[in-house]
A and B are shown apart, each in its own frame.
Chain A
Amino acid sequence: MSSDAHASHPADGHHAIAADAPHGSMKGYLTGFVLAVVLTVIPFWLVMGNVLDNAVATSILVIVFAVVQIVVHMIYFLHLDTASEGGWNMLALIFTVIMVVIGIVGSLWVMYHLNLNMMPGMMTARPG
């Protein structure tokens, strides 16, 4: 079996499978999975069970759990750290996060004020 031969001689002239790539471990994947399940179940439980009876508090908690779960996935499933690819992965991610935040928060902010200023009656209420 050629695969067995490779397993016993991992450095037999072949490249090791992308030696510079991040290596996951069973422990890492299982830790990430358990955390992801917990961080998924809690917001579903909050919304489906109407646990808090307060829409604003529930919304904030759902967002917080989503952000934490995204970080968990980045660390345990995507193996992201400041050292991978000489730090360029992290730099690209930081840039993207800034763009995403500007795009989403900016859109919501601008359109909220646009709606506020387009309220019916606003034009007639102003004198002149």
Chain B
Amino acid sequence: MSTESAVQTAGQPAFYVTEEEHAHSSTLLGFWIYIMSDTLIFAALFATFGVLRHRYAGGPTAAEVLDIPGVALNTAMLLISSITCGFAMLEMQKRNKGSTLFWLAVTGLFGAAFVGLELHEFATMIAEGAGPQRSAFLSAFFTLVGTHGTHVTIGIIWLITLMVQVGRKGLVHENARRLMCFSMFWHFLDVIWIGVFSVVYLLGVL
């Protein structure tokens, strides 16, 4: 339509598409590239764990130290925080500031419960003498699971920062973009956790 009118008014053929201008942000693609590079870090840690998973050095085996009911509860915490993060994104699209903040807070609480349960598990293992220095298996275990836990902790700090920003400035364009990056990061951590509970815990105790 607009091309035709341009041709009529100018009397010359137009060699460009006169579409409506829409702001295209490359931030989300860039953040996705970051997540992919983070995936490679976890791939290296998974490969290390896969190679060392039976190197017990006479110490406790995976079946002796890993608590499967505990990790089932942990998995539930992270999965619920993933869906509440999704609810926060839906409320953000509807521009409901209050309920966005509410679901972000719920997400943060479930994330904090996850980190708390994991730290409790680590403390119990170290108290039993199954610390990271005991065997190659335990070194690889603490590195892989600990790196994931560190990511979740940093995610919670980021989440609190975003809640303060949304609370002060509202759901402006910049905050919406940040929240979408956070949502990608949070769902990505849940994807990594699928690998952790399957490979480290479920295959470990078989």
Contact = CB atoms under 8 A, between A and B. Distances in A.
Interface of A: 2-3, 6-7, 10, 14-15, 17-21, 23-26, 29-30, 32-33, 36-37, 40, 43-44, 47-48, 55, 58-59, 62-63, 65-66, 69-70, 73-74, 77-78, 85, 88-89, 92-93, 95-96, 99-100, 103-104, 106-108, 111
**Which 3 A/B pairs are nearest by Cβ-Cβ distance?**
A66-B198, A107-B47, A29-B86
A95 B69 CA distance: 36
B184 A103 contact: no
Contacts of B154: none
B198 A63 contact: yes
Contact of B177 (A18, A23, A26, A62): A18
Given A29-B86, A40-B79, A62-B198, A19 B32 contact: no
A18 B180 contact: yes
Contacts of B194: 40, 66, 69-70, 73
21 contacts: A6-B171, A7-B95, A15-B173, A18-B25, A18-B177, A29-B83, A40-B75, A40-B194, A43-B202, A44-B68, A58-B206, A66-B194, A66-B195, A70-B195, A73-B190, A78-B187, A89-B32, A92-B32, A100-B40, A104-B43, A107-B47
B83 A33 contact: yes
Given A18-B177, A85-B28, A55 B206 contact: yes
Interface of B: 22-25, 28-29, 32-33, 36, 39-40, 43-44, 46-48, 50-51, 68-69, 72, 75, 79, 82-83, 86-87, 89-90, 92-97, 170-173, 176-177, 180, 184, 187-188, 190-191, 194-195, 197-199, 202-203, 205-206
Given A14-B173, A103-B44, A23 B22 contact: no
B36 A95 contact: yes
A77 B173 contact: no
B25 A20 contact: yes
B24 to A, nearest CB: 5
Contacts of A43: 198, 202
A111 B53 CA distance: 12
Contacts of B180: 18, 21
Given A40-B197, A104-B43, A108-B50, 10 more contacts: A14-B173, A17-B95, A20-B22, A24-B86, A24-B89, A29-B86, A29-B90, A48-B69, A100-B39, A104-B47
Nearest to B27: A18
Interface of B is mostly: helix
A47 B203 CA distance: 8
Decide if the interface of chain A is mainly helix, strand, loop or mixed.
helix
B191 A103 contact: no
Given A70-B191, A70-B195, A78-B184, A17 B176 contact: yes
Contacts of B190: 73, 77
Among A6, A65, A104, residue most surrounded by chain B Cβ atoms (within 10 Å)? A104
B44 A15 contact: no
B86 A85 contact: no
A6 B79 contact: no
